[in-house]
Amino acid sequence: MLLDGNYALVGLHQGAHGEPVVNTGISAIAIRESVRAAGANLLDARYVQAFRVADDSRPILGRSKCQEWVRRTSQSLVRVKPFTASKGVSFTLEIMRACLPEREHVITCVQVLELHADATKTAEMLLGRLGVDAADLPTEADINSSRGAWLEKLVAAFGTRVEEAHRDRIVWLVIDDLQKREHTIPAGSVRDFLSEMYKQSPKFKNLRIVLLGMTDFPSGFPTGLVDDEDIVPPQTADIVSYVRLRLTDGGIEHSAAEVERFAKLIELTSGTDITSLSDYVADKVDRVLNTAIEALQ
C-alpha cells in the first residue's frame, strides 16, 4: 500500500511473494476508474460500516439498511418502520451518532409526547432544540389568510432559518415513538404543521427529518420521495461480521468455520431479539474477545 505524507492512499504495490519486482505499482486513481467502469458503487472512505456506537459501549449488529440511508440518502425525509414489538427503533439514533461526525452534522431528537398541540409552539420548541432563533415566526394573524397559507409560510421560514443557522452542516430532526399508541401526535394545528413539513421536505437544503416508528402515510407525505427502512432482526451473518472484525482487529487468527460456529452459539444463547442480542454481546462476548486480545499483547 502506497501512502502520501498525509497517509492518504496513493496506490497499491503488487507483491510477488517476496521476489524482486519493478514497476508494479498501480495508482489509486486507476483502481477507482477501473472499479467504476465495472459498474461498482464505491463508498467514501468516511463511510465505512460502523460496528459500535459512538461511546464504544455497545455493538451495532445488522441494520445495514439504516447505515446506508444515514450516510447516503439524497432524500430529506426518512421513515423507519418497526419490527415485532417495536424493539430497536430508538437505537436508530445511536447508529446515526456512530456514523455521522459532529463537525458535519447536527442530530436532535424529540419524543412525540413533547410536541405541543399548537403549531407555532411546536415550531419554536423544535428550532430551540436545533439551536436556531425562533423569534418572530409568521403567525396566522400576520398572514391574514387561510390556515394552509399560514402553515406554508411557517414551514418555509422554519427551513430557511435552519439553513442559515447551520450553513456548513446537515441537520437531522428525529421524531421518536411514533409507533406508540399511548403517545399519539396531539390534536390541533401541530398535525397540519407536520403534514406541511413532510410536503415541503424535498425543498429543504440541509434539513433531514427522520420519523421513527411511523408506519402509515399521513397527509402531505411525499410518497416516492422518502427513504424507507423496515427493521429486521439481526441475522447470523451480522454476528459473523462483527466477530470477524473484532478478531481481525485484535490480531487473532481464525477460520471462517470457527467464526460461524461461534456466531451460531451466540445466536442460540441470546436469541435474535435485537435488544437482547446487543446486551449479550456487550456483556459477555466482548468480554471474552477482549480477554483473548489482551492475552496476545
* pLDDT tens sequence across 210-225: 999 998 888 788 888 8
* 124 and 211 both lie in a single domain: yes
Choose among 160, 248, 142: nearest CA to 205: 160
In a domain, 47, yes or no: no
CATH of the domain at 159: 3.40.50
pLDDT at residue 194 in the model: 96
* Number of domain units in the chain: 3
pLDDT, one tens digit per residue, over 146-182 is 889 999 999 999 999 999 999 999 999 999 999 887 7
φ/ψ of residue 113, rounded to 5: -65, -10
CA 77 vs CA 41, 60, 173: distances in Å: 23, 23, 10
Does 270 lie in the same domain as 183?
Answer: no
Could you list the residue range(s) of the whole structural domain that residue 17 is in?
2-42
* Domain identity same for 138 and 271: no
pTM: 0.79
In-domain check, residue 53:
no
* Cβ proximity of 239 and 263 under 8 Å: yes
In a domain, 210, yes or no: yes
**Is 6 within a domain?**
yes
The pLDDT, as a whole number, for residue 115 is 96
* Same domain for 241 and 98: no
101 & 130 share domain: yes
Model confidence at 40, pLDDT cuts 50, 70, 90, reads low
Each residue of 18-42: b (16+ CB within 10 Å) or e?
eeeeeeeeeebeeeeeeeeeeeeee
Whether 148 and 187 map to the same domain: the answer is: yes
* Residue 51 placed within a domain: no
Domain-located, residue 77: yes
CB 229 within 8 A of CB 80: yes
Same domain, 220 and 241: no
> Is 49 contained in some domain?
no
| In a domain? residue 59 | no
Same domain, 226 and 240: no
